[in-house]
Amino acid sequence: MIKTLQASQLDNKVKSFQLNHIQIGLLEAAVILAFAFLPIFLSYPYRINIFLSWEGAYRLYMGHIPYKDFGLPMGYAYWLIPALFFKLFGPYLFTLVKAQVFLNCVAGLAFRSVLQAFNIESGKRLVLIVFFCLTYLFFNFWPWYNQSVFIFELIGIAFLMHGFNSQKSLKRWVYLSLAGFFVVVSFLTKQDGGGLAFVLCTVLAAYMSIAQRKLSYLLVFIASVLLSAAALILPFVPHDFLYWFNYGQEPHYSRMSIRDILNEFFSGSQWIKFYAVVISLLYINKLTHWRDIFKNKSETLFYLLCMGILVQASIIQVTSYIPADNNIYFHSFALAYALHAVQFKVSFNRVVPLAASIVMIFFWWSGTYYKYVQKVVNRYLPETTAGAAKANIVSKNTYTYQEKKSVWTGVNVASWIELPGSKAFARVYMPKETVAGIQKLKAMPEFNSGAAPKVLNMTELTPLSHELGFELEKGTPLWYHLNVSFFDRELKFYKERISKDYYDVVLFEYIPDLNNFYPFELRDHLKQEYQLIDTFPAPRQQNNTFIEVYVKNK
């Protein structure tokens, strides 16, 4: 009797340390929201390439029509959400951070939805969401199309998986149609990621059609893709869409190099290859006969999805190489399949295994957050490099001499400041010299005469159009990278305008280390036709990049 009572009490204690589905769900929401909203509470140094996100969103906010009023070598879908947030919160740089908060929330929920579609145990699912947030969302403070393309793809995959699982025909076709729509949105965000999303989802739909012996899965998805593409592309075809949009035609070129992909994959990509081997072995271990490939549909779908993500990651790292870790999401899918395939003796819904797993994840991926912890470490464990150097002690920090002279050196971002009284640049830091340069621009008579000046702004400081109050030209490229979004036709167009003194002010950013990021030939032409009146550092973390201010010769 006493033993039975003690056993019952022990069982109750064990159960008290086990979380139910509702508690897990609340924790999942809390984790996603915590990681997603973190960027709101910080201020940032000016980020390279953020100028492009701002101007595309600003043009849509101003009512400009893609390809008609501004040309770009990709789709316009990436800028839709930032433009919506400009409408809600104003056309400011920090509004882009708010837009990314929303995208991060959507990404976390979409990943959770995919895991739900495969009936992942709720405790494991929470571990995987923590992992996904730490390794992917934690990096996404600013919106960028190489990240947004995956978020839209993830939404499409989630709808596709739930469409496969739905028992009701109408609901199934709605989900499959939504999957096709978001795959097209992904494609109109970035061609490579969106194209791979289409290939992956098509393979999954084809497998499901074969396994279920219903061609409708594939047909409905393909039909949705075609209809969505027609609706989102055809209205822009009369506006030079076929010239601007890069599908490998002149004056564009294909950026898909099989040689580069193979070289990168076989000479590196250690994690991708490791995961491919591990999850393949785990999948094979679940098969007792080749017929199980089609009999166990959920297992095969999950395997195909995760392998497809690995294939995609190996290609994306070559075709979309900025930022360097934009394909890092593949870790989450590989771990998801591993946790799903391995049968553990403990339940992840219990607090101790759940907490231990999360602690191990933070230990494993300490590199994502250690740079913030490092500030505390450096305070209590100060660096002794200077003393070691004086004493001629050789260590990791002193075994090479620091270069005394170089083409460019890094700058101290900690000394950067905000532009006083600015809404467009609020909570964004720039070099003091850049701020002083903008203040000089504000004082120029061209921006204070009451007349609307004609300005060509070939710099990363695109919010200057809002800050200084000049209108953006229509019928021009969204940005000026030669042979990427700006071609010989546009180069000739601008040279002719400069020769005719069309612009009152031209702002040109000189970046000698980048290949015609702003065309060097146009700069040479400006020097001949216009007067250089000021030069100040650009908001980049090196000291050899400058913004030049040109006005008409008097």
Q: Which residues contact 116 (CB under 8 A, 6 or more apart)?
A: 125
Same domain, 186 and 329: yes
163 in any annotated domain: yes
- % of the chain with per-residue pLDDT over 90: 75
384 in any annotated domain: no
H, E, C per residue of 155-171: HHHHHHHHHHHCCCHHH
Q: What is the pLDDT of residue 404?
A: 47
Q: What is the pLDDT of residue 394?
A: 64
Rg (CA), the chain: 27
pLDDT, tens digit, for every residue of 137-173?
988 899 999 999 999 999 999 999 999 999 898 999 9
Q: Does the pLDDT value for residue 542 go beyond 90? A: no
Q: What is the pLDDT of residue 1?
A: 52
Q: Does the pLDDT value for residue 183 go beyond 90? A: yes
Does residue 255 or residue 1 have the better pLDDT? 255
Q: Does the pLDDT value for residue 410 go beyond 60? A: no
157 in any annotated domain: yes
- Beta strands 505-510; 455-458: pairing state: parallel
Same domain, 317 and 449: no
Between the alpha carbon of residue 141 and those of residues 53, 82, 295, 515, 517, the distances in Å are: 13, 13, 43, 27, 24
pLDDT, tens digit, for every residue of 265-282?
899 889 999 999 999 999
Q: Which residues contact 467 (CB under 8 A, 6 or more apart)?
A: 419, 422, 424, 425, 438, 442
Same domain, 366 and 431: no
Residue 540 CA to residue 48 CA, distance in Å, equals 7
pLDDT, tens digit, for every residue of 303-325?
999 999 999 999 999 988 777 78
183 in any annotated domain: yes
Last residue of a domain, one of 313, 339, 370: 370
pLDDT, tens digit, for every residue of 474-521?
999 999 999 999 999 999 999 999 999 999 999 999 999 999 999 999
**408 secondary structure, DSSP code:** -
**400 secondary structure, DSSP code:** S
Same domain, 153 and 233: yes
pLDDT, tens digit, for every residue of 322-358?
777 888 999 999 999 999 999 898 899 999 999 999 9
Same domain, 228 and 84: yes
List 551's β-bridge partners, or say none: 505, 531
Last residue of a domain, one of 313, 347, 370: 370
Residue 208 CA to residue 214 CA, distance in Å, equals 8
- Give the pTM: 0.92
142: domain range? 50-370
Same domain, 480 and 546: yes
Q: What is the pLDDT of residue 405?
A: 45
Nearest to 188 by CA among 239, 152, 157, 223: 152
Confidence of residue 407 (pLDDT cuts 50, 70, 90): very low
411 in any annotated domain: no
Strand spans (E) along 177-334: none
Q: What is the pLDDT of residue 368?
A: 83
Domain count, the chain: 2
Same domain, 450 and 361: no
311 — phi, psi (to 5°)? -60, -45
112 in any annotated domain: yes
